[in-house]
Structure 1
Amino acid sequence: MKSQDGKSKAVKHFYEFGPFRLALEERLLSSHEGETIPLAPKIFETLVLLIENKGRIVKKEEIMKRLWPDRYVEESNVSQNIFMLRKILGESPRNEQYIENVPRLGYRFIGTVNEVQEVIEETEEEALASVEEPAPKVQKEKPARPEAKISIAVVPMVNETGDPAWEYLADGVTDSLIKLLSHFPQVRVIARSLVYRYKDKEADALKIGRELASDMVLVSRVVAREGKLIIRAELVEVSTGWRAWGEQYQPQLSDIRKLEDEVSTNIAATLHLKLTEEEKKRLSKHETENAEAYQAFLMGRYCRSKRTGEGYQKAIEYFEEAIKLDPGYALAYSALADSYVSYDFFGVLPPWETSTKAKAAAINALVIDDTLAEAHTALACVKMMYERDWSNAERGFKRAIELDPEFAHAHNWYSHFLMAMGRIDESFAESQIALKLDPLDGSINQYLGWHYIHARQFDRAIAQLEKTLAANPDFFLARVTLGMAYEQKGEVEKAIEEFKKAYKLEKSAVVLGFLGHAYAHAGNIGEAQTILEELEELSKRIYVPAFCIGLIYTSLGQNTQAFKWFEKAYVDQNEWMNWWKVVPELDLLRPDSRYTDMLIRLNLQPNNNLEDK
């Protein structure tokens, strides 16, 4: 029908619900503010079908027949369309405003819908154009609507080979997938420490997803059949229990990286994630193309995760092997540096040896890839732990956090640094960020207890460390730290028991130093003196952290001898000296001018706030 001015009149049909308007002819979804929300064809058809049958249960079979009349598809295709629709409409499984899931049957549109018809005048050219190539109207530029993130829990791969030797592979693939999926800006990946609670436990995907408040759960397992490895993976939608994607692989060890890439790519396709070229480039980037080097790296990472003296020793060997196989492996260099630094807290290797090796590894990592947050963190740790180059250490931690704000251990180490500076409130803030990013990570939880001790909040320290040890009773450093907390609270007998338990885990001179200090504190001078003599004799043959011997002399009230050993610890680059400013075991030495002199030599300023804590 044409008007007198030559324009034709067309009737447009719309459905309006909530803040949305669905244009049927143009196949567009828009908000009432005029923002166009693109829909894939099958998702558009799914929405129309549900709205046309509002209030009625639309069975899954009906949806499949309507959308895919000429070919066979699985129910997971319907599940995926519904999942994406809910994401677009801002829903979650616990907040169904428009689409109701009816278990084992189908879906029902429960939102209020208004059907609208509008008569629109358009020229003949416009009418033809709208028929030939429907296109959205040009809208004024508006701020992008924040896109709802899909949450995914990557459950630890189950090792069903019957051989514990493959645990490193199961954990390695799990960790790599967590990292790869974290690169998707539309995805929120549940923290590693949270999903690892389910390792070696019987729990189905739906239960895990509900407990973690996750939209999707990725489950996988590795089995051995006729001498070959088979890896099965599937993505499960928690709200429906339907399988959104699944695949079986029979990889060679040299193909593990390709498998990880393929799984992450398939998940991105299943969830219809749109990636920029930069994001695609980052996802396809491999730290190494050498399969053997990658295997060695996975083994090293697996050993390091044990957080034991033996674990760190083996991790160092594996990371060195990875570097030998691929001298351009930046991530292996940074992991090697981190392992040296962390192992130093066990007091086994002399710092003048580890500091050189750790620094060389960290620098090599940065020369190869200066965008690697792990490498900046490693070098910052070297600056803090051994060189006491405080300004450059802080600069390094900040750069690491700038490069990867979600790298929990950068925040955790930066918290260590801030505590050394006596910036207690800032240290706590960084520790909380680290904990939020990885809530059940053992090292991060242990450090929070350590923070509370140095902030003189001993009850909080004890509660935090007992919780940490409940999750892992054999965590050596947490056991030592709990002993420190009990002693500072005045429960010295409990402290002695904790130090003894720690010594059973690791025959470390560090523990003996704290145990001797506690014995002297309890008035058991004979036991303290025995440990002191043992450590002094031992120090003539092997490396013994001088700081630990100084601790015992401090508790015995022999300050001159204490400062003699603390001087040696300073020269040896002993890492425990870096917290000289805040260590509660040294509170009795603070009035001594030699204590202040050491502060100055460490480039630290007296902290008058500690007395207020």
Structure 2
Amino acid sequence: MVMSTGLDQTLIGLSFLRGDVQSTFQIADLTLDLGKGRLFHGGADVVLRAKSFALLSYLVRANGRVVSKDELMSALWPDVTVTEDSLTRCVHEVRQALGPGAARFLRTVQRRGYLFQAGDGAVPARPWAGADPGSVAVTADPPPPEGTQPLRREGIAVMPFVLTSGGPNDATLLDGLAHDVISRLARLRSFHVIARGSTFALRHLAADPQAAGRALGVAYVFVGAAKIDHGLVRLQVDLVDASDGRIVWTDEVAEPRVAHADLTDSLADRLTQAIFREVTSRERNRAMLSPQGSLDAWQSYHRGLFHMLQFSPTQSSLARTLFDQAVQQDLGFARAHAGLSYCYFLEAFLQPRGERRADIDLALRSASRAIELDEQGPSSWWAYGRVLWLMGDVDGGLKHLQTAIKLSPSFAMGHQTLAFMLSQSGNPDESLAYAERASALSPHDPFMCAIYGSNAIALLRSGRTEEAAAMSLMAARQPNAHKHILAVAAVALAAAGQEGAARSLLSRVRNLDQHYSMTKFADAFAGLTDDAVSRMKTAGSRIGLV
């Protein structure tokens, strides 16, 4: 919901606004206009629900004072009884709207409430475009000059696609496709996604993505042009970095012209994951090139992702340090907590079962915090589900992963992890289907070693040993394959009678862990059925894995 309508009664009901509803406040590069009931970033609306907008307004006006939860709940819901969950949700949405620097302004004061603090308090604003006379600023830093506002690195605008050839109804189909991509990106909860109303209002800038990005205050702009004829939809798409006008990623896709819903679902899923993959990769690389001491929360998080995806204890430790840094910089950064949880999960997964307890507890705590901060975030439920599985609660793990992909059907990691869990104790065919879906959504996913490894286990359980061996080799060839993935490949090759190749892989495993045994293997894949463990032990014994 864009904060341009439906707000008046909420604001009028708040006593702190009486007599001064025209005030405009500047919060870093955001503009809070109480008179218009809107929050702007670079001239574009920032999406906030009415109650979340009212909360931000209240806290800004109380700049420098700790406001209790009771006071806020009485002000925002004067005639309604609500739980603290309603307030927590509003606080989270405000932090998301403030962006990566939210922790500088909005703090949780334990057992007391919330503190909005910017510099030494509200001071007269310096003149800048869009500010009303007499407005006040709530930041100690001077506002940036007009036209030079920094673009939000986490911001993405999907522009309406241009129809270059087609029938009279095809423009509607393309508008629907753009809308679906916007919706899917928003449901991933990974980026600041500009609403359709704003991007479609700037349809005329689709041919100039750099101008569109500057107008909307975002670093990334996604544009496309389509030809629809002879029963085919041909779509040329570009992802552009608006800060320098460079094309980050480009592709051309062709799909049969089928029913509207089927076409937009297929294309929207592919485009959404491509945007997610390319933006994440680019931001990760940018963070790696930045000086360690200069990283903000967004950069710390993406630098942490780089180390996390190496799947080794040493790299995981580096990732934890960076995720923890991101959390300290932005207390409401749910995905950083999910990243912390995954690091602890991985470190526990790579240890013998008897040495996991401390890391499991830390993984569970971080995942719980992620859900607390963003219960609509698929990565939060993904992190929690993995920990439950590692604790032996397979049903609980599956339930949480199902919640993750229900929240975001395009969440490739959710499908991949469901494939991993089901490959061991569920229906092997169902596991293979989830893996296929994950691969379709993200064909170059950094978790491909896990996808191939899950497929190998599912195929082994189904008695399809030759296919399992081929799939396990694909897993072992991934540059970030860890010792358990290599062990799966060694067992699968041994089961298929390829003992020479199996022994070669086992030597790689023991280069990483000289005491690796079938006990450690079974500990890692604790969800395996007794029958599957028995068959794998038999195969392992042929190559000295006992």
TM-score by length of 2: 0.47
